A and B are shown apart, each in its own frame.
Chain A
Amino acid sequence: MTPAGVLLSQIAGVAFLGVAYGMVLYVISVGLSITMGLMGFVNLAHGVFAMTGGFILSVAMARLGIGFPLAVLAAFLGAAALGAAAERLLYARLYGAGERAQVLFTIALIFIAASIARLSFGTQAAQIRLPGVLHGQIALFGRAFPTYRALLILLGCGIAGVLWFGIERTRWGAMVRASVDNRGMAQSVGIDTGRLFTLTFALGSGMAGLGGALGADILPPQWNYPQEHLVYFLIVVAVGGLGSLRGAFAAALLIGIADTACRYWAPALGAFVVYGATIALLLWRPLGLFGAARA
């Protein structure tokens, strides 16, 4: 192949892997963007739900012999249930409590979850054995791409579509949009923000678990998962703009591609490019790419 051809092939490969990674980041972080935009709650413990999903997948497949699709569903439902319980019992008490209390609370959750994970699963990352059909590669546009990554891209787009439909076309979505825009006003027109919050938080946590499970190949479930990846989740939300689906999607893809490209071509630079780009982006657009000032 010509040098140009080789380079093009590399770019295609990197872009593909980057988009797949971005999809995982999107699915995990979009829930955080919505709940932060909706409830204004600084939830640093969001990664806990992603980690939960990953571990549920691992346990379901390795110890209970459940098949991959069902295990992924279990991860989504398990994380959602955990989220609903946490919201009702704990988060709901701190909505008006101010940033300091919320930060302290979510750090506490990280400590607790990380300890439980460490006690239950040790310090090694959980290995996920994907079903045989997802191993290997498929041929696209005259090149071979990893099958699983291709599936991630497909699923990511599908989930983004479903979520967009849910937010834009359903009553629930309308209530979420109204409450994100102006919480006080939404309450005074009779929206039951309490139930809305629980439902949305459960959904957001479930999505995180789903992302954690689907992305377990790229981001292996491990006891220090919530702290380790916190920065990237927050970057997706801050760069995308709180409460913006488009923003989270765009930001996640940008970060996935940038991170993968750097690791491939300039490994010494590593995460610096992502952080540098984040800083530059936020200086240009302090509310995020698609963020808007809330009432």
Chain B
Amino acid sequence: MSRAGAYSADPRLRWPEMLPWAVALAAFFLVPDYLALGAHILIYILFALSLDLIVGYGGIMTLGHAAFFGLGAYTAGILASRTALTDPLIGLAAGGLAGGLFGFASGAVVLRTRGIALLMLTLAVSAILLAAANQANGLTGGADGLSGIAVAPLLGRFAFGLVGRTAYLYSLAVLFLGWVVLRRLVGAPFGAMLTGIRDNPARMEAIGAPVYRRKLLAYAISAALAGVAGALLAQVNQFVGLDVLGFAPSGEILVMLILGGVGRLTGAFLGPTLFLVAQDQLAKAWPEYWYLGVGLLLLTVVLFAPDGLLGLFDTLSAALARRGAGRDR
């Protein structure tokens, strides 16, 4: 399938891009009992978007992205439970900053390698953070998790109630802003440059792009966004557990993104939504079989639809287009 590059593509908003927001707002009114799950999904969509920037657009595979997510969560959580800084926006900024800085530091090392070494180092960095969080249980609560996270009313007015209405709309707003920023980024010269590095680093080097530095920049931005998503989680749940760090959440978000389809931002909406809704419905009923089922589904997908749901959709619409063209003759 040919895709126009950013310099040739039509940058105007297309109506399907408004769908997720319409659905999210509709859900707010139609299924008020599921707002907790809804906020959870919105947070993971933001997490998946951050991952798509480096996996889909940058071509950098990572098994440790939860490191930045978890760091953001713990940063916001610690700030809100141990200091007087309970304003949620400050927490978001802190989470993003922590994620971004750590992303820059770890990326500087990790991005000097390729292939298996790169994968392993992303895993190692993630494992280091998990071990650190476990150790520093005075700060993080260790295996018991970090509770007592107080969240001041948003903008001084909107308190976070038990029903989760504020939390849901807050998450939606943050996700929307994150999406706007990312959409602009990938449509701008930055995005064209990043996909250029993904598709042909030798060619990019040959036109004067310092490839390593650019990848590091993208990595840090992605880490900052993941940190914001983590901070959001801490504030919405008012709790942070060790399960935000390590291989498990990193592998899961990667799976969610690839299932949805990488490299187009839309997959980051589809993947987590379907995965988390299915998990909510099925994992409660048959917990031991849930991962077995997911594994088998993944196996099927990788063998028959490796480009995820969006890839399937493309193949279908291409086939339909061919049929239509044939009929018109």
A contact residues vs B (CB 8 Å cutoff): 36, 42, 44, 90, 93-94, 97, 99-101, 103-105, 107-112, 114-116, 118-119, 227, 230-231, 234-235, 237-238, 242, 268, 270-272, 275, 278-279, 282-283, 286-288
Contact = CB atoms under 8 A, between A and B. Distances in A.
Given A103-B63, A104-B298, A286-B112, A234 B292 contact: no
B303 interface: yes
Chain B interface helix/strand/loop/mixed: helix
Contacts of B298: 104-105, 107-108, 111
Contacts of A111: 291-292, 294-295, 298
B15 to A, nearest CB: 30
Contact of A230 (B121, B125, B247): B247
Contact of A103 (B127, B254, B288): B254
Chain A interface helix/strand/loop/mixed: helix
A270 B135 contact: yes
Given A104-B302, A112-B296, A282 B119 contact: no
Interface of B: 55, 61, 63, 109, 112-117, 119-121, 123-125, 127-128, 131-132, 135, 247-248, 251, 254-255, 258, 262, 288-289, 291-292, 294-296, 298-299, 301-303, 306
A288 B163 CA distance: 54
A93 B304 CA distance: 11
A37 to B, nearest CB: 10
B295 A109 contact: yes
A64 to B, nearest CB: 25
Given A99-B61, A237-B120, A279-B121, 5 more contacts: A44-B63, A112-B295, A112-B299, A119-B292, A272-B128
A94 B302 contact: yes
Given A112-B295, A115-B291, A235-B124, A36 B63 contact: no
| Nearest 8 CB-CB pairings of A with B | A111-B295, A108-B298, A112-B295, A115-B292, A234-B120, A238-B117, A115-B291, A108-B299
Contact of B123 (A94, A119, A230, A272): A230
15 contacts: A42-B119, A44-B119, A94-B303, A103-B63, A108-B294, A108-B299, A111-B295, A112-B296, A227-B248, A227-B251, A234-B123, A272-B131, A275-B128, A278-B120, A278-B121
Given A227-B248, A234-B120, A282-B113, A101 B292 contact: no
Contact of A107 (B131, B251, B262): B251
Contacts of B296: 108, 112
Contacts of B61: 99-100, 103
A112 B291 CA distance: 7
Nearest to B296: A112
A115 B112 contact: no
